[in-house]
Chain A
Amino acid sequence: MTDSYAVDVEGVSKSFGAFKALNGVNLRVRQGEIYGLLGPNGAGKTTLIRLICGLLAAHAGTVTVLGQRMPNVAVLRHIGYMTQQAALYPALSVEENVSFFAAINGADEGVKDALELVELYDRRGSVVATLSGGLRQRCSLACALVHRPELLLLDEPTVGIDPQLRVQFWESFRRMAANGTTIIVSSHVMDEADRCQRLGLIQYGRLLAEGSPADIRAQGGSQNLEEAFLALAGRKES
């Protein structure tokens, strides 16, 4: 039944030395779903995302993406990954950066669309080193989706972005999801969590709770998502 899920993570554990970053995590994300990974800093969100795109190998458990066991180079062509830090070449212009990532993913034609999506088309000639943090973040997003991936992994994509643009970002995410793109987005900002179809709460390397924002509210016993989250986190810890 794995092929009905875009991402299927089963019993995955990963340690760095003595530190257990992930401890028996199960996670299933359907195609076209926007799935939010919530959790405090150091909870294991980035590690989980890296496992999904095959940058790390799990010590236990399996990761299946688009029907293929990871790590698998062939699948990477269909994955877009936006790292936490805006990973760009500072000496290149916006367009040169996006074109580069298009080229290594074998999709040279999507550059203009990607630049328009993040509203950087007019600034395509600007050298990245001269851009503000928010503009870099937009450029970084364009690099992640320029090849129209089937699965988009976004590690805290809206850090440093102003509220208007954040709204636009989420509108684009929804449009892409409606067209069949699966999106996994990590965040520790609760108002973003509300925009996801389903949420997973991660803490101490474990998936504490899962469900729609409404489910989480019900499980945590609070109308406020943040309070619900804190209640759930505190309950498991004690």
Chain B
Amino acid sequence: MSGHRVRAITRRLLQGFRRDRRTLALLFVAPIVILGLLGYLMRGSTSSPSVGIANEDSGPLGVMVADTLRHSSHITTTDISAADGDEKLKNGSLVAYIVLPSDFSRQAQNGNVAPEVHLEGSQPGVDAPVLQALQQAMITLASQVAGRNVNFQPQIKYLYGGKSYDTLDYFGAAFVGLVVFFLVFVITIVSFLNERSQGTLERLMASPLRRGEIVLGYMLGFTVIALVQAAEVLIFSLAVLKIQNQGSVLLIFGMEALMAIAAVNLGIFLSMFARSEFQAVQFIPLVVVPQVLLSGIIFPVSTEPKALQYLSDVLPLTYAVNGMRDIMVKGADLTWSSLQLDAGVVAGFCIVLIAAGTATLRRRLG
């Protein structure tokens, strides 16, 4: 063991970093960006789930309960009529609504209340605060009905999902698409970079190949691989993990294909900005992590701080994730306007990236 030789290796490493300013910058910028984002997301999320209240009670206690719910810190409430409830859950303006039936006051006097709780059901995290707020209102109610023990039995109904619907179903729907997106992105960025570093791209440029043909050929090649992978992921998720699926398997596959095409073109585009595989690897946390945090996979976009919601709205992954959940959790088909929007945005993103990739290819070889 020679200290001199060890030092030589250490010094060589640090010298390399000194020249590679970009890697150095990413090394110190990326963690701040990622942690800052995470902190802002978790601390800054103030909005509480929107819950509708339909008070049909003819007696005085319904008003009292509705008022208690209105002042709950767990939820934000709006007054609705029970007939509109399901529509509002579907269009996403509410995550739940509570119906206090017409005989609610009488129920309370008899010591057995059964308010209806309608949950949208696709976001597992929001059910708890709704039930918690209701529970508190019931405690207040019990103190008003003197001398009686009030038994609380909410009638819970799910619009989507249901009781057996769990966290994996919620995350799984998004991850089926994500896994394909990121693996394809990494493979493309590295192999396109190889094309540069091994000199074959220069050869391609000196051939009659058009730049668009290169990008398109790449896209098709990787899409073939991505589709095989997508099929594998899908079969594993549905058959082995038994993730709930309400929609058409073909539609999921189509959405995965769109995401794969977007990933290929994102890889080609970003490879223009990396000079080595080393730098390409640096793009992964910088591109991948903020998208995972902001696309609504973990934190629903509606609960993000306002500033971050704008950012989420321009990330294509937000739409892809939303589309996957619409299909798998809610059983959406192409007649749903929300799915049309999601698929349209991801497809539009593909087209923009193909154009961007082709344009950058030109600039680099001047």
Contact with A along B202-237 (1 / 0, CB 8 A): 111111111000000000000000000000000000
Known: A55-B365, A56-B366, A57-B366. A79 touches B206 (CB 8 A): yes
Contacts of A106 in B (CB 8 A): 208
A156–chain B nearest beta-carbon distance, Å: 13
B198 within 8 Å of A (CB atoms):
yes
Can you name the residue of chain A whose Cβ is closest to the Cβ of B205?
A55
State the main secondary structure of chain B at its contact with A. Answer: loop
A125 within 8 Å of B (CB atoms):
no
State the main secondary structure of chain A at its contact with B. Answer: loop
Known: A55-B365, A56-B366, A88-B198. A74 touches B203 (CB 8 A): no
Residue in A53, A55, A74, A89 whose beta carbon sits within 8 Å of that of B200 in the complex: A89
What separation, in Å, do the CA atoms of A90 and B205 have in the docked complex? 19
Are the CB atoms of A90 and B203 closer together than 8 Å? no
Are the CB atoms of B205 and A85 closer together than 8 Å? no
What separation, in Å, do the CA atoms of A74 and B203 have in the docked complex? 15
A203 within 8 Å of B (CB atoms):
no
A63 within 8 Å of B (CB atoms):
no
Residue in B206, B209, B210 whose beta carbon sits within 8 Å of that of A55 in the complex: B206
B199 within 8 Å of A (CB atoms):
yes
Known: A73-B210, A79-B206, A104-B207. A87 touches B366 (CB 8 A): no
Known: A55-B365, A56-B366, A57-B366. A89 touches B206 (CB 8 A): no
- Which chain B residues numbered 185 to 209 have a C-beta less than 8 Å away from chain A? 198-200, 202-209
Contacts of B209 in A (CB 8 A): 104
B221–chain A nearest beta-carbon distance, Å: 12
Contacts of A89 in B (CB 8 A): 198, 200
A76 within 8 Å of B (CB atoms):
yes
Can you name the residue of chain B whose Cβ is closest to the Cβ of A52?
B206
* Residue of A74, A104, A143 with most partner-chain B CB within 10 A: A104
Report, as a range, how many residues of chain A touch the other chain: 20 to 34
Are the CB atoms of B208 and A87 closer together than 8 Å? no
Are the CB atoms of B203 and A143 closer together than 8 Å? yes
Residue in A56, A77, A81 whose beta carbon sits within 8 Å of that of B203 in the complex: A81
What separation, in Å, do the CA atoms of A104 and B199 have in the docked complex? 16
Count of CB-CB pairs between chains A and B under 8 Å: 46
Contacts of B206 in A (CB 8 A): 53-55, 76, 79, 81
Are the CB atoms of B208 and A101 closer together than 8 Å? no
Contacts of B202 in A (CB 8 A): 55, 83, 87
Are the CB atoms of B198 and A104 closer together than 8 Å? no
Known: A56-B366, A57-B366. A77 touches B208 (CB 8 A): yes
Contacts of B365 in A (CB 8 A): 55-56
What separation, in Å, do the CA atoms of A77 and B209 have in the docked complex? 9
Are the CB atoms of B208 and A104 closer together than 8 Å? yes
Contacts of A56 in B (CB 8 A): 365-366
Are the CB atoms of B198 and A90 closer together than 8 Å? yes
Are the CB atoms of B366 and A105 closer together than 8 Å? no
Are the CB atoms of A87 and B198 closer together than 8 Å? yes
Contact with B along A150-187 (1 / 0, CB 8 A): 00000000000000000000000000000000000000
What separation, in Å, do the CA atoms of A89 and B203 have in the docked complex? 11
Contacts of B208 in A (CB 8 A): 73-74, 76-77, 104-106
Contacts of B198 in A (CB 8 A): 85, 87-90
Contact with A along B347-366 (1 / 0, CB 8 A): 00000000000000000011
Can you name the residue of chain B whose Cβ is closest to the Cβ of A79?
B206
- Which chain B residues numbered 325 to 366 have a C-beta less than 8 Å away from chain A? 365-366
Are the CB atoms of B205 and A83 closer together than 8 Å? no
Contacts of B200 in A (CB 8 A): 87-89
A99–chain B nearest beta-carbon distance, Å: 14
What separation, in Å, do the CA atoms of A56 and B363 have in the docked complex? 10
B364–chain A nearest beta-carbon distance, Å: 11
Can you name the residue of chain B whose Cβ is closest to the Cβ of A100?
B200
Can you name the residue of chain A whose Cβ is closest to the Cβ of B365?
A55
Are the CB atoms of A87 and B203 closer together than 8 Å? yes
What separation, in Å, do the CA atoms of A87 and B200 have in the docked complex? 5
The contact sample of 14 A-B pairs, CB cut-off 8 A, is A56-B366, A57-B366, A77-B207, A79-B206, A81-B203, A81-B206, A83-B203, A85-B198, A85-B199, A86-B199, A88-B200, A89-B198, A90-B198, A104-B209
| Partner-B contacts on A (CB < 8 A) | 53-57, 73-74, 76-77, 79, 81, 83, 85-90, 101, 104-106, 143
List 10 A-B pairs, minimum CB-CB distance, nearest first: A87-B199, A81-B206, A77-B208, A53-B206, A76-B208, A87-B200, A85-B199, A104-B207, A87-B203, A83-B199
